Structure 1
Amino acid sequence: MKYFAVISRMLDVDKNNSLRDEHLNYLKKLGKEGKVFSKGRFTDGTGGLVIYKADSQEVVKNMVECDPFVSEGARSYEIHEWVMQLINNE
């Protein structure tokens, strides 16, 4: 399983606000399926970041394009494969 960082950029604040619950429910569903590792919004209001778990970038692209924020034009996105490294504080 690989990790992919998906950065979403705000395109339409009004659409974003009206689709927020649908977006969060979608990510919650994917999280229960083990497909989302982490998620969060940027505090400056410009968008957010989701870390997906999948076998390929194409699989992630399909998931992202089904997200209401993306499919309804509230946000754009870019995908980057991410190599996660936990930091040991010892």
Structure 2
Amino acid sequence: MVWFVKIERGIVNKSTFDQFVPAHVAYVNDLIAKGHQAKTGYWAERGGGMLLFQASSLAEAEAIIQADPLIQNGCVDYELHEWHVVVE
């Protein structure tokens, strides 16, 4: 499995965004249960965050991202990057 990082920037107001946070948390918990070692969080200054996860390919990573309720509901713009771990 390869590590991927989704860096996101919120594009809706907080009350709209917050409606989809429970579904996003459930989605991340499902990724964890499926072995993707997902971790998610937001920047302290607000307005964006990051999802770190493993996938077998860029195509699978993109499919995983498209299933995120924050993406499906137009709450964030994102960049997806393959991440090469140098030191663990």
* TM-score (normalised: structure 2): 0.89
Q: Counterpart of 2:79 in 1: which secondary structure? A: strand
1:10-89 correspondence runs (5 A): 10-13=10-13, 14-86=15-87
- Greater than 6 Å deviation, 4+ residue runs: none
For the pair shown, the structure with the greater C-alpha radius of gyration is 1
Unaligned runs of 5+ in 2: none
| Contact preservation (8 Å) 2:32, 2:38 | yes
| Cα displacement (A) at 1:34 | 1.3
Shift of 1:20: 0.5
Indicate the percent of aligned positions where both proteins have the same amino acid.
24
Match of 2:2 in 1: 2
Paired with 1:84 and 1:15, the residues of 2 have a C-alpha distance of 35
Work out the CA distance in 2 between the residues paired with 1:29 and 1:63: 11
Distance in 2 between residues matched to 1:46 and 1:84, nearest whole Å: 26
Distance in 2 (alpha carbons) for counterparts of 1:66 and 1:4: 15
* Aligned residue-pair number: 87
3-state secondary structure, aligned to 1:49? strand
Q: 1:73 to 1:41 in 2, by over 3 A?
A: same
Q: What is the CA RMSD across the aligned residues, in angstroms?
A: 1.3
Instruction: Name the CA distance, whole Å, in 2 between partners of 1:30 and 1:37.
Output: 6
1:54·1:60 contact (CA, 8 Å) conserved in 2?
yes
